[in-house]
Amino acid sequence: MQRSVLKYIPLLVAIFLIGCSPSWSDGPYEIYWIDGEKALGFNLGDDAYIRRIDKPHHISANEMFVSVYACPEGACAYYYIDRLKDHKFADSSEFVFGPYTEKTFVQLQQKLRLPKLEQQ
């Protein structure tokens, strides 16, 4: 009986590690959880993040921008991050833009070549 239980321990460990890994990441940007709250942040390493956008639902990135559909404080809207201006010492008001309506965001996608988000 003990041997049959022991053979499942590596599987349980693998599931736990997969569950703890970020659900989305691209370069320094990564989804992380703190106190049950999901956020998109700038990964500094050693499990340290600088929060960029709270409660992201859909994210897409290219080499210049990160497009995000998020619902911080219960109000859903569109945002984008200018990756070229972002760094760990910058104030987020310098490179996080939004909130935008879908119509405005689609116009910005065309103008700036923001990455397209999946339909909500």
The model's pLDDT over 42-64, given as tens digits with 9 standing for 90+, comes to 999 998 999 999 999 999 999 99
Answer yes or no: is 53 within a domain: yes
pTM of the model: 0.78
Answer yes or no: is 1 within a domain: no
Parent domain of 53: 22-112
Percent of the chain with pLDDT over 90: 68
Helix (H, G, I), strand (E, B) or coil at 104: helix
Answer yes or no: is 10 within a domain: no
Answer yes or no: is 46 within a domain: yes
The predicted pLDDT at position 90 comes to 83
Answer yes or no: is 35 within a domain: yes
Give how many domains the chain has, as a whole number.
Answer: 1
Q: Which two tokens stand for residue 13?
A: 């460990």
Q: Work out the average pLDDT over 90-96.
A: 88
Answer yes or no: is 80 within a domain: yes
